[in-house]
Structure formats: structure tokens, C-alpha cells
Structure 1
Amino acid sequence: MQFHHHGYVSGDPRIQPAAGVGIDRPTDLPDEVDVLIVGTGPAGIVTAAQLSQFPGVTTRIVERRGGRLAIGQADGIQARSVETFQAFGFAERIIAEAYRITEMAFWKPDPANPATIVRSARTLDDPGGISEFPHLIVNQARVLDYFGEFMANSPTRMTPDYGLEFRSLAVGEGDYPVTVTLAHTAGPDEGQERLVRAKYVVGADGARSKVRASIGCTMAGDQANHAWGVMDVLASTDFPDIRLKCAIQSHDGGSILLIPREGGHLFRMYVDLGEVGPDDKGAVRSTSIEQIIAKANAIVHPYTLDVRNVAWHSVYEVGHRLTDRFDDVLPAELGTRTPRVFITGDACHTHSAKAGQGMNVSMQDGFNIGWKLGHVLEGRSPESLLSTYSAERQVVAKNLIDFDKVWSTLMAKKPEEFENPSELEDFYVRTAEFPAGFMTEYSPSLIVAEAAHQNLATGFPVGKRFKSAPVQRVCDTNPLQLGHQATADGRWRIYVFADAAPAGAQSPVADFAEWIANSPDSPLAATPSGADRDAWFDVKVIYQQDHTGVDIGAVPAAFKPEVGPFKLTYLEKVYGTDPKADIFDLRGIDRGGAVVVVRPDQYVANVLPLTATAELAEFFAPLLQSGTRAPEFQNSAK
């Protein structure tokens, strides 16, 4: 973490200096904003958190509730989301308070006495070591709290505007073409409407999204045909695996997905309520908590649940629905204009809760659109960048729904309906990478290159997330995870994996350093005059030697930029290999060196040889606009 480059800091270094619109930020919602986000759920809050790092962008997030969420319905946090939390600076703190899933137990009818259940299998949650981060369970409300803290500590000092409900919008012309009608839901102005004009609107307002309806998108997919009761409870029980994630299948009473919650006592149960008839008309939703508890006791027999306290419960029907576009550009308009309105999260994809994907995929929606809006509004990139959001995330949502259909169907099956008795646990192990959040692979586009040089870094597939690995920082000898040094500050990352020559020798990496620092074709040439050299691009070098074999004084200046008003040399971008876990071997990096380009949302955008400077320039050329903004409007985070 860098924080003394502007002068001595004696307070909490996570509180960044106010800058741009964060200086004297108005308490009341302005009449004109750059971005208006509707809804403070996972997708909306991550969009806002990312945009809070752009001091020159006026972003406001409105919420119909009068205050923070107290009890969230989502609780499963996949490893990919914890990677994201690391970028936003709170992974360690949320891990400390969360429940950590390391195994899953499977329970089935006892062959000797089918009226009772027995444990049939245990499986590791991450048998292949997909991520160094854990799979967590934690209340959604706490996730939102952490992102809210990040926003409030950001240069823009962003906080939600509570008590405002979205009514409608209209897209017109002018500098602020989207006119939004809001209504106060509380206080002296309750019921009164007001208008806000925005350059862009992000709808993160849930499955019944009014923003979605305003842009003419409709949800399509399977009708719900199976009901589940869900409850967060405190109970006295003799069920031995009450603190393990479990899939429990009874002979004729249905199934349970058991999820232990944080805090050591609370747990969640998804209780199978059976098929929903076509003439049900929502009657199953009136199932009482007493009925859900009774059903759960029937399933776990011979064990019992004595429920002492119910924190929350609900009944829902499984349905899989998806919109065909995630923005306001109609199919007939593709290629003729760029979007002004976007939808995220449950506003554009719904599915069952049992795969633990809803909150996680929604947060990645927000991460994706957030940096793109920031780059366009700050003048870094052209508006064409915004068209990549719907193209990328709609495919991800479709893949999620396809996966969830299989998983939820398996969970609802009766034991005797399985051809293979171990089919459920086999599927869980075989598909572990998907629920962990690591199957997303973006196709070639404006921001994802063709994988023409993938052989140079086979462990960093183009289009997939950048998978971290151990390194040693040269300046202070600290062993670190390389990926953990990338914060959610809106910058592109350029990782330069050196050839075998030592620092200071004439070599391809030395030639690359000269080019990226001084060539007019270098992406760094677009950095605004007066801003730090690494304001838009974070360029790091990883040598093949360990830290003792790298002469920091001989490292090219391109990897040691001068930062802050005092022009201090920043030494923390130079790394050596970890002798115990060589990143070149772990990630299949060619010993002749390679350049790995990573997007602000942590996905690999390109892999190139050290000599392919023309290709690197060609990749960034359509993404960059000449830096003309004043330095106070540039990203101040490192």
C-alpha cells in the first residue's frame, strides 16, 4: 500500500485524500450526475465502489430503503469474489468473520433402513487448489457494509442516497440525456417526485427491476416448478454435521441443502417443498415457518432439530430467467449508437440460490461496467468501450443458468432416480471450477485480444481471470502474491516477465522498458500531462532470478516511476521469483519472457512476446484517447 508519496500520513491509510467531486461533496442528490446507480445490492454497490475511485466522475447511488440492509438473503461467497474483495482492500477482514467451507458432506437414505439417513461421502471443497482464497459464507449485508466503507473512504467520499425509489426514465439528447423520475419513500418529502438528469444509468434494482422495464427488456426462460423453504435459524440438534455444508437426501421426504453460517451457531437450510402444480398460483409461498421446520425434521430423521430462534425465512420457487441484452440498445440499433442505460445482477438474470452464484455473478457485473464507465467519463477511452458490457456479461449469465439448471435438478431428485448413487457428489467435484467463479472466459473483442501467443504464458489464459502466484518483492525482500498487489483503482496492469538476462544487461526486457517509457506509440504516452507516470497503467516487472539476484539500481526506470508531488521513486513494482514456487514454472511462462496485459477487473486481455511492441500499441490504440484532463481529475489511488 502506497500512501506517503504526497506527504506524511499519520491516520488510517485506507482513507484516501478527498479529490475532485469528493471535495465538499453535496449532501443532497444533485439535479445532474454523470452516473446514477439504482439499488445498493451487490451489483450496484460494486459499480459504485469502482466508480468511487474516479474523482472526476459524479456518481450517486440511490436506494428505496431508508438505510442499510440488515439481513441479506445471499450468503455464499466464492473464491473469485474473495479475490475481488482483496482488490477492494477488505479480504482479510471479511475472511476473519466468515464461515469457511473446506468440505462438503453428502447424506442419503440408509440402505439398511431407508427411513433414516446416513453420511455417504465427504468431498474437499477445492480439491485442485483452484485459488489461494477460501470459499466463504457471510451475510450479504456485511459484504455491502465493506463496499460501503470503501466508497466512503475513497477520493469521491461516496455514500448511498437512501429513501429514493426509481419510478421511470426517458433517454433523450444533450449532455445529460437520461431523465430519471424518483420518489421519496420516507421523511418530510415522502411521496413527492423529483427529476435527476444523468449521462448514464445503471439499474441494479433486483428481479422486479423497473429500470429493466423502462428500457423494454423482458425476462425469458423456464417457469418455476419446484419450491423451497429457506431459513436462517439457531437450533439445538444432534445432527453431527450441522457445521458442515451438506446435501441431504431422504427416501421420500425431499432434500435439504445445509449451509453453516458465520458466528459459530447460525445455519441456513434450503428445504425441499416439492413440485409446484400449474394451478398453485403462488399458494406455496404461504408455507409457514412451522411447516418448513417440520419438513426439515422429517428429512433429517433419525436426527432432530429443535429450532430456538428464526433470524429469517422465506419460500421461493426455482425459475431460470434471462434477458437477451443488458443495456438499452435495441438489436436494430447495434453499431449505430452506444448504450446509456445498463442493467446488472438480478435485474437481468435469476436462478436458484443453491449454487451460491447470484451475489457473486452480480458483483462481477458491477466490476465489469464500473471501470468502463469510469474510463469513458474520465476521458481515457471512447464510448465504444461501453458496448462490451452486455456482450460479455450476457454470455456469463447464460452459462450460469445452464449450470444451475443441472445442479438444482440434481438437488431435487429422489435418491432412487439417480442412475449412479454418487452422481450428485461426482458432479460437485467435477464442476468445482464453475461455482468457484473461475470458468468465465471472455471472447475476443475490443478489450480481449486473440490468443495468438498463448504458448508464452499458458497459465494465464487470455479472457480468463489473472491467477495469482508467489513472487518476492526486490526492494524489501517480502514474499507476496503477485495478483494481490493489483487494487481496484481502475488501472490496466502490464506484467513484464523478463528474459533470463540479469537486470541492467542489454536484453529484450531492457528494450521493452525503453519503448514503453519513451515511445510515442506506448500506451503510457496517453497519460495526462501532470499526472503520475503510472496513473493509467501499472507496469510491473518479474525477473527470473530471486530477489538476491536482482540489482534494483540497474532495473530500468520504466519499472521505477516517479510519483507524487515530490517525485519519489516507487520501487515496489520490481519482483524476483520465489525459489520455492517459481512463477515461471507455475504459470507456464516462456523463459524468453512475455508481456501479460490485465484489465482493471482482473481479466487477462493479451499475452505477447517482449518484442511485440507494435502489437501492444495496436491493442491499446482504440482504447485510449489523448490525455488532456487536468491531473486533479486523474485516479489518485495506487
Structure 2
Amino acid sequence: MQFHHHGYVSGDPRVLPAGVGERPAELPDEVDVLIVGSGPAGMLLAAQMSQYPGITTRIIEKRSGRLELGQADGIQPRSVETFQAFGFAERIIAEAYNIGWMNFWGPNPEKPDEIVRTTRTADYAYDICEFPHLIVNQARVLDYFAEAALHGPARIAPDYGVEFIGLEVGEDAVEVSVRTAGGDRRIRAKYVVGCDGARSGVREAIGRTHVGGVSAHAWGVMDVLVNTDFPDWRTKCAINSEAGNILHIPREGGYLSRMYIDLGEVAADDDHRVRQTPLEEIIRKANAILHPYSIDVKEVAWHSVYEVGHRVTDGFDDVIDDSGRTPRVFLTGDACHTHSAKAGQGMNVSMQDGFNLGWKLGSVLTGRAPETLLSTYGAERRPVAQQLIDFDKEWSSLMARKPEEISDPTELATFYLGTAEFPSGFMTQYTSSMITGTDAHQELATGFPLGKRFKSAEVVRVSDGNVIHLGHHAKADGRWRVYAFGDRDGTRLASWADAATPVFARFTPTDADADAVFDVKAIDQRPYEELEVTTAPELFRPQTGPLGLIDWEKLYASGPSKWTDTDIFEARGLSRDGVIVVVRPDQYVAAILPLDDVDELSGFFEGAFLPA
């Protein structure tokens, strides 16, 4: 973590200097961005927008205060990677439950009314990336994002007790009606983001509808503190028995667990009466499924009954016709996609919605990018939502099977591991657009697939010899990352740096730091012991901040070294002749370019940026 570049500070370095004056206590009459709802997508979006102190962003929530008990709890590795960018991955990992294994249980062939463990499988997380698969209360995730939003330069905090009533979209703004303790009022916003859940008022106001339906199957879910003789109580389990199915997920803290209990098929004329199933019946059903084991429930922190629904909104913004205008209202999270909770995807995909949108709003409102950038939000995120629905339908169907429908007892475990890249959050791949180039040069960096998230690897920081993950230096600050992987002796890398410097300057405000828009780093093939930061091209040792201090963390060596066996060129299939990898602010690979063609770099940026 870098700090002191604005002078010595003795306080918490995570609290960035305020970039604005005192935040008004009352909602202003006019804002740039109004976020409706403080769920995962909304709070991540607020944390991202807090990096733009010149943009007035407010987030409204009809609850009277912070969420105390969230319904979502599964944190996939891609989300933990995102937490790293927002600065709190290590802290939330320390308090979360780490899913190391998933065990599978089925009927005992000799005593079919009893269950036995059929398979032990190691979780997929560490086979895919360096981040774990976690379980933690959604409320704590929101707390961490709220801290990031409050500690960012824009000092954003939720306005609680404010209810969204409706909106009207105009040519250059959105008129939003809200209800507060002091009465109804209107707020004028340049952009509105609906993060207000499955029953979204924003979605209804812009005429968007959910497409899909509810399956005829019900599940009870409860967070419980129990005493039990079930040996895998602290291990994630999929349990199939003659009495039904359970997805069992231990929670953080060492005692609490969540259970999804199969309540069976729902009659066509049920009219949602199953949702009134008493808690006692859910516990009774859980014990029947667990036989010969049992649970003695001491406390139920939360419970609910739901019918599995799979819906995707017919659009993620307010542009319904072919008018060609750019959107002003956006939908995220459950407001635009709903599904079962058993795949552990809801909160994770919702947060990626917010991450995708936040830097785009920031880029447009600061004048870095044209308004057309905002049209890429729906174009990119709606296909991801549809993939989620398709995956969840298959996973839910497999989970709900009866024993007689299962020919291979290892099938569920095989599916769990075989599809791991999708639930972990790493299968998303954006197609060519104004912010994602073509794959014409993919062979130069085969381990960084175009349009997929930048997969980090260890490198050696030249200034101090420390080994770090290259991607972990990238923070959610709205900047683009440009990684210049050098040639064998560094001569072409130096020539590229000289030629590329004017390109970066063209899109960087003259009164801003040289790396305010582009964080450019060099990764040299030569051993770290042969390199000196002070002899690197000026592009890789910019002087930033009010004191004009040299940034010592732009030059890296590829390794291996005493502290790592990783050679990033070998690990990520990088050309030994050098390659440029451009990464978007949301950590997705935007362009792969030859080291000796600066014109292609310039052409790509001309399509994504406005001149400073």
C-alpha cells in the first residue's frame, strides 16, 4: 500500500484525503449520480464513486439503518479478488469461513433410509486462483464497502430512511421522487442506478420487466446454532436422501451454519402457501433428511421459505426504443436478475454489476470518456446474467433430484468441480467493443485471454526485491492499467516507453499527475539484480503528488528469484519479444498489443477516451 506521497500522515492510511468540502447532511436538490438501494451492488458502486470527489453521488435506502442480517453469504474467489482492489480482502478473509472442502452424502445402499458420506472433494478455489472461497454475512460485506465509501475522497455515506417513489426521464436529467421523514420531495439526477432488489421500483418506473418464472419446487433456509452428531457439520455438504435434499453451508465464527432444506414439489394450485411453512416443519424435515444423524436446534438467527425463480430483466437500462440515445437509468443485481441462492451467485454477480458500471459513470462524468461508454454496461452484463440463470437452473435441478433419479452418486461432485470456473466468477468474457479490442494479437499473451479478468502472477519489485502479485497492486481507483512486458534485453521496452509517453499524455489532464488516468508498469525479463529503478525510462518512474515524489513501484522483474519460482512470462504464455497488456479499471483485459506498435495503442485509446 502506497501513502505519504502527499506528505507525512500519522493516521490510518486507508482514509484518503477528502477531495471535497463538508458533505451536506441533507439530500441536495441536484446530484450527478443517485444510487437507489444499499445492497451489494449499491454499496460497491458507492465505494467506487467515492474515488471521484468532483462527482456528487448520493445513495438512498428506505431502511432506517445498516443491514444487520443479510440473506446472502457465499463469497466466490472473484469477489475476494474484487475486495482486494477495494482494500479489505485480508480483513474479511480473517473473519470469514473458508470453504476448503465440499463433501457429498447419499443413501446407504444397505440401509436406504440412512445417509452415508459418498465423496470428499477439495474446493475449487485454490486450483483456479490465489483467493479463497468464503462464507460471510452479507451485512459485513456491506459494512466494508460502506467504510471504503466513507474513507474515499468523496466521503459517501448512505442516506437512510429515504424511500424511492418514482422517476421521470428527461433529455438531460432524471427527476426522482422520494419520501423522507420530512415529506415527499424531488431530486434531479444526471444518472440513476436501481440497486433496489427483486421488487425494484426503479425497474418498474422505466418499464422494464422480469422474463422467466418460478419452478414448482420449494426450499426452506435457516441460519442455526445447534448441537449435532452429524460429523460434517463444519464442512460444506450436499446431502441427498430418501426424505429430500439439504445444501449445508457452515458460516463464519465456528458455530453458525446455513441449511437449505428441500421442501419438495409445489402443487399447481398452491398459490405460494408453501411460503407459510412453519419453522418447526423445516427443522423436522431437516432431521428426517439427516437420519441417522440429528440436530438439536438451540437458536435460529434467520429463516425463510422460497420457490426457486429464474428471471432476467428484458434490459439493464432505460433505453427501450431505437432512439440512439445513451441511457440515464441503470439496473443492477436482483433488480435485473433473480435465481436460487444455492449456487452462491447472487451477491457475487450483483457486485460485478456495480464494478462494471461504476468506473464507466466516473469516466463519463469526469470527461474522460464519451457518453456512449454507458451503453456498454447492459451490453456486457446482460449476457452474464443469462449465463448465470442457465447455470443455476442446472445446479438447482441436480440438487433437487430424488435418489431413484441418480444413477451415478458422484455426478453432483463431478459437476461441482467440472464447472468451477463459472461459479468462481472467472468465466465472464466480454466481447469486442469500444473498451475491449480484438484478439488479433492473442498469441502474444495466451495466459491473459482478451475480455477476461486479468489473472495475476508473482513478480519481483525491482526497488526492494520483494515478491508481490502484479494484479494486487491495482486498486479500484478508476484508473486503467497498462502492463508493458519487456523484450529480452529491454531495448525495445525503452523505445516503446519513449514513443508511448505522448499517447498517455494526450488523454491525461495537464494539471493531473502523470499516472492519474493510466497506471503504467514495466515487467522486465532480466533478473531483478541486474536492474536499477533510476535507469528506467521516465514513464516508469513518474513524479506524482504535490511534492513531486518519484514512484518507486512501477518497475518489476519477471522472476524467478530467491522468493518465488514463478516466471510470469512462462506462467502466462507471454512473448519473449515483449507484449503490452491493457487492463480496464474493473480488472478485465481490454487489449493485447505488440511492443513495437504504438499506433495500435493510440488507436485503441482514441476509441475509448476523449482527449484531455
TM-score range, shorter chain: over 0.9
Partner of 1:13: 13
Q: 1:127 to 1:369 in 2, by over 3 A?
A: closer
* 1:200-229: CA deviation from partner (whole Å, max 9, x where unpaired): 000000000010011110001132311000
Q: Is 1:564 the counterpart of 2:554 in the alignment?
A: no
Q: Which amino acid letter does the alignment assign opposite residue 495 of structure 1?
A: Y
Root-mean-square deviation (CA, aligned residues, Å) is: 1.0
Alignment of 1:403-414 (within 5 A): 403-414=391-402
Counterpart residue number, 2:205: 214
SS of alignment partner, residue 112 of structure 2 = strand
Map 1:261-410 to 2 at 5 A. Answer: 261-333=251-323, 336-410=324-398
CA contact (8 A) 1:225 1:319 kept: no
Normalised by the length of structure 1, the TM-score is 0.94
User: How far apart are the structure 2 equivalents of 1:481 and 1:6?
Assistant: 25
**1:636: which partner in 2?**
none
Report the AA paired with residue 542 of structure 2: P
Counterpart contact for 1:227–1:273, Cα < 8 Å = yes
Unaligned residue ranges in structure 1 (runs of 5+): 628-638
Tell me whether 1:472 sits opposite 2:460 in the alignment: yes
Q: Quote how far apart the aligned CAs of 1:613 are.
A: 0.8
* CA distance in structure 1 between the partners assigned to 2:99 and 2:159 by the alignment: 35
Q: 1:422 aligns with which of 410, 415, 422?
A: 410
SS in 1 for 2:177: strand
The amino acid across from 1:247 in the alignment is A
Partners of 2:27 and 2:515 lie apart in 1 by: 33
CA contact (8 A) 2:525 2:559 kept: no
What is residue 42 of structure 1 aligned with on the other side?
A: 40
Partners of 1:224 and 1:166 in 2: CA distance: 30
Q: Deviations over 1:410-430 (max 9, x none)?
A: 000012202322211110110
After TM superposition, give the deviation of residue 529 of structure 1 in Å: 1.2
Q: Provide the secondary structure at the position in 2 that maps to 1:434.
A: coil
Q: Could you tell me which of 60, 63, 66 is aligned with 1:62?
A: 60
- Structure 1 window deviating more from structure 2 (601-610 vs 617-626): it is 617-626
Please list the CA deviations of residues 374-427 of structure 1 after superposition, one character each: whole Å capped at 9, or x if unmatched. Answer: 000011100000000000000000000000000000000012202322211110
One of 173, 180, 183 as aligned partner of 2:176: 180
> Paired residue for 1:153?
151
Aligned to 1:36, the other structure's residue is in SS state strand
Counterpart code for 1:344: T
2:533 corresponds to: 552
1:223 partner letter:
V
State yes or no: 1:574 paired with 2:559.
no
Instruction: Check whether the contact 1:90–1:146 (CA below 8 A) recurs between aligned residues.
Output: yes
Give the structure 1 partner of residue 573 of structure 2. 588
Residue 523 in structure 1 maps to residue 504 in structure 2: yes
Q: Aligned partners of 1:231, 1:282: CA distance in 2, in Å? A: 19
Within 2, Cα distance between the matches of 1:523 and 1:212? 39
Give distance in 1, aligned partners of 2:511 and 2:228: 65
C-alpha contact (below 8 Å) 1:523/1:621 kept by paired residues: no
TM-superposed CA distance for 1:611, in Å, is 1.0
Partner of 1:614: 599
Q: Counterpart of 1:3?
A: 3
Match of 2:238 among 240, 247, 255: 247
Cα deviation, residue 128, structure 1:
6.8
- Structure 1 runs (4+) deviating above 3 angstroms are none
Q: Secondary structure at the match of 1:217?
A: coil
The 3-state SS of whatever aligns with 2:223 is strand
- Show the counterpart of 1:634: none
| 8 Å Cα contact 2:431/2:451 also seen in 1 | yes
- Whole-Å Cα distance in 2 between the matches of residues 524 and 604 of structure 1? 21
**SS state of the match for residue 260, structure 2?**
strand
CA distance in 1, matches of 2:314, 2:569: 41
The whole-number CA distance in structure 2 between the counterparts of 1:327 and 1:164 is 22
Secondary structure of the residue aligned to 1:225 is strand
Take 1:477 and 1:238, find their aligned partners in 2: how far apart are those partners? 51
Counterpart AA for 2:601: L
**Counterpart-to-counterpart distance in 2, 1:223 and 1:143:** 28
- Residue identity matched to 2:581: V
Contact kept, 8 Å, 2:533 with 2:541, in 1: the verdict is: no
Tell me, in whole angstroms, the C-alpha distance in 1 between the residues paired with 2:459 and 2:603: 30
Residues 16 and 153, structure 2, Cα contact 8 Å, conserved in 1: yes
SS of residue in 2 equivalent to 1:122: strand
Q: Aligned to 1:296, what secondary structure does the other structure show?
A: helix
Contact 2:78 2:426 in 1 (8 A): yes
Q: Report the equivalent of 1:635.
A: none
| 2:424 is the counterpart of 1:436 | yes
Pairs within 5 Å for 1:481-520: 481-502=469-490, 507-517=491-501, 519=502
The answer on whether the counterparts of 1:524 and 1:537 sit within 8 Å (CA) in structure 2 is: no
Q: Which residue of 2 aligns with 1:632?
A: none
The offset of 1:127, in angstroms, is 7.1
Letter in 1 for 2:583: V
After TM superposition, the structure 1 = structure 2 runs for residues 25-104 of structure 1, keeping only pairs within 5 Å, are 25-104=23-102
Q: Please tell me whether the aligned partners of residues 182 and 195 of structure 1 are also in contact (alpha carbons under 8 angstroms).
A: yes
Shifted more, 594-603 versus 220-229: the winner is 220-229
One-letter code of the match for 1:86?
Q
Deviation, structure 1 residue 460: 0.3
Q: How does 1:613-632 map to 2 (within 5 A)?
A: 613-627=598-612
| Deviation digits for residues 460-482 of structure 1 (CA, Å, limit 9, x no counterpart) | 00000000100110101111000
For these two proteins, the number of residue pairs brought into alignment is 608
Q: Is the 8 A contact 2:126 2:132 kept in 1?
A: no
Task: Confirm or deny: 8 A CA contact 1:249 1:414 kept in the other structure.
Answer: yes
Looking at structure 2, the residues matched to 173 and 240 of structure 1 have their Cα atoms a distance apart, in angstroms, of: 62
Instruction: Give the letter aligned to residue 101 of structure 1.
Output: I
Q: Which amino acid aligns with 1:296?
A: A
Query: How many Å separate the matches in 2 of 1:600 and 1:128?
Result: 24
Partner-residue secondary structure (3-state), 1:223: strand
Q: Is the 8 A contact 1:35 1:199 kept in 2?
A: yes
8 Å CA contact retained: 1:203, 1:342:
yes
Q: Distance in 2 between matches of 1:385 and 1:612?
A: 25
The aligned amino acid for 2:3 is: F
Give the deviation of 1:341 after TM superposition.
0.2
Deviations 1:550-588 (A, max 9, x none): 122221110111101121111101101231110001000
2: CA distance between counterparts of 1:371 and 1:553? 33
Secondary structure in 2 matching 1:391: helix
Answer whether contact 1:15 1:154 (CA < 8 A) is retained.
yes
Distance 1:293 1:491, change over 3 A: same
Hey, what does 1:633 align to over in structure 2?
A: none
Q: Distance in 2 between matches of 1:222 and 1:524?
A: 51
Q: Is the alpha carbon distance of 1:235 and 1:128 closer, same or farther for their aligned partners in structure 2, counting shifts above 3 Å?
A: closer
- 2:470, 2:30 → 1: CA distance? 40
- Structure 2: give runs of 5+ residues left out of the alignment: none
- 2: CA distance, partners of 1:224 / 1:524: 55
Q: TM-score, normalised by structure 2?
A: 0.98
Determine which of 136, 139, 149 is the counterpart of 1:141: 139
Query: Structure 1 residues 415-424 or 159-168, which shifts more?
Result: 415-424
1:159-184 Cα offsets, whole Å, 9 max, x none, are: 0000001010001134xx10000012
Percent same amino acid among aligned pairs? 62
**Which whole-Å CA distance do the structure 2 matches of 1:331 and 1:588 have between them?**
44
Secondary structure of the 2:102 match is strand
